[in-house]
Structure 1
Amino acid sequence: MFSELKQLAVLCSLIVLTISLQSASANDLEVFDEFAKSSSSHTNNWAVLVDTSRFWFNYRHVANVLSIYRSVKRLGIPDSQIILMVADDMACNPRNPRPATVFNNANQHINVYGDDVEVDYRGYEVTVENFVRLLTNRFPSSTPRSKKLLTDPGSNILIYLTGHGGDGFLKFQDSEEITNQELADAFEQMWQKRRYNEIFFMIDTCQAASMYEKFYSPNILAVASSLVGEDSLSHHVDPAIGVYIIDRYTYYALEFLENVDAESQRTIGEFLKVCPKRVCISTVGVRKDLFQRDPNKVLITDFFGSIRPIEIITETENFTVPLKIEAKPQSIESCDDSTIKYEFYEQFPSKLFN
């Protein structure tokens, strides 16, 4: 009888403990969600633009990433908040008939290389390891500030990828690849470390939609140039160069962005429709179940432009600026300015070392 009562008491204790743990976990999750909602606000924009391919015949991928780079920079995001990763330098390639230029149109309408392109990761620096380190902020101590994504809980981040992909992976320079699960886990680390407010993920590769299938972190809106099983096609050839010079999806995305300015009221919802299948040939994929806002109410400049918080002050302030400032020596009590002699030393007095 005693043993049965003891077993019953232990069972009741376990039930009470389980219920309390479940309620505590639920409460903790609610508190965390409320904290995340209340503490995050959009205060700054960043862009991570990555071309993962190499070799001359992949000229179009460099044109893709430089086209997006040109657009976000024109709309106000400074180079200090743009991370540009380009695996090969097409502008200086010996096969380029127009040195120091990269065009995304056969009519040579826009030189997307421009005069002030700042590449942060070039050539063999464009690796899966460096890309994941960039997202998760896990760098060696010697890494310069310009190679870091210095975001915070108020950062909206545009992440654009272009190159060659397959079902669930994206190749880096034909030597390695990142999987969709690895990318999803990197985004989760970013969320746990509170490194972003919202992410707009944009990818132009074959079977691109497979790269966002594993995402599970909140506040991510994703668009892909092709669905699983589909190729993402190039747009046209420049006969003078002899290779395709831009991909279809990025071409029409750029066409949309060229008609946007810093004060534009165009929305992300409109941008998601820029390349219908009749012109893209592939089917554009969109994933928005993780995103908290309606894309039709989100301005395109929330990701592609610069946010400039301002405070309007209605009160006026009066300032008195002296017209002349007189300098007098403190060691002499009474003297005239005309008797003061000033002597200036050289910026670098090299004669002292002779």
Structure 2
Amino acid sequence: MPPSSPAPPEPAGAARRRAEEARLEAEARIAAQVEEARRAEAEHREAEERAATRAAAAREAGERAEQARLEAEARIVAQLEQARLEQARLADEARLAEEQAQREADERDRAEQARLEAEARIAAELEAARLDDARRAEEARAEEARRSEEERTRAPAHGGVDSVAAGREVVSALSDAVVPAESRSEERPARAAAPSAPVPTPEPAGTRDPAGAPTAPESGNAVFAPRTGARRLVGLVLLLAAGATAGAAYVAHDRRTTFAVGIAVTLGVLTLLVWAVRASWPTTRLSVTAGQLEVLRGGGRFVFDLRSSYTPIEVVGQPGERGWKVLFHRRSMAPFVIDSSMVDPEEFMRILRHHRPDAG
């Protein structure tokens, strides 16, 4: 086989074209790489911007959450402060109302005591007047009898005048004159039953027992001392609860924790409940005048006639026992109950038996 002949040399123009194409390809590759780098840099910047936007949004959300928390805490503190002020106001109003009620009750007690003393004084004056009238009538009858006896002894010397018959007529006239005097003395209580301004007088001897409790006079009149021990105890609990609530509110305002706020709110609710219990526990006042039992309780007034047999009275238990109570039955209504929380059982039963011996 004959040896191959060498390739003919390329023309210079073809070499230049290939070199130019290689250069263009290299420039295209470099341009593509540059474009890729720019695109990567743009994507990197976009990622950074997105991250910055998310971070800003997160910061803004955190700031809004913090602001909301602060506002919520401020509202809670304001509500606690308002609740504390309201509780203080209610406590002040309750205290003032209790003081006013106590003053009014004291005034009623003083007025009732003055009225009973005035009635006792008037009754004593009437009794003294009646005894004085009786004494004078007796003296007049004795004087007339003496004169009649003298005239009888002198009658034979003066022509036998019938002085005995004349004396009897005079005694009869004096007896008739005594009756109107006694009726006038009985009419005096009607005119003096309502004095314009009763004057207090010292309490008669024997109207109080050694323990200091009022006892009923012979007429059966009495004013029972009200029992306020339980109400005072509830008032003391109310003051303690109000103080504890104020302290808890201060701690909640200072620490601003959920536990402290819950304790303050719980104590506030407890204080309101104690106040409601005390407000619904009125003081009962009882008195007996001329057989009429008068009960004043919670703005209401109840009157029962102890002397009337048409007033059904039922006594349950004995004084001193736990379940002692007195029931006043009313037509078409529930019985009115009097128990040891309203009056002293021993004293009340003594007055009740004075007017109704068959009771108990």
Report the TM-score, using the length of structure 1 for normalisation.
0.23
Of structures 1 and 2, the larger Rg is shown by: 2
**Which protein has the bigger helix share?**
2
Report the TM-score, using the length of structure 2 for normalisation.
0.23
**Which protein has the bigger strand share?**
1
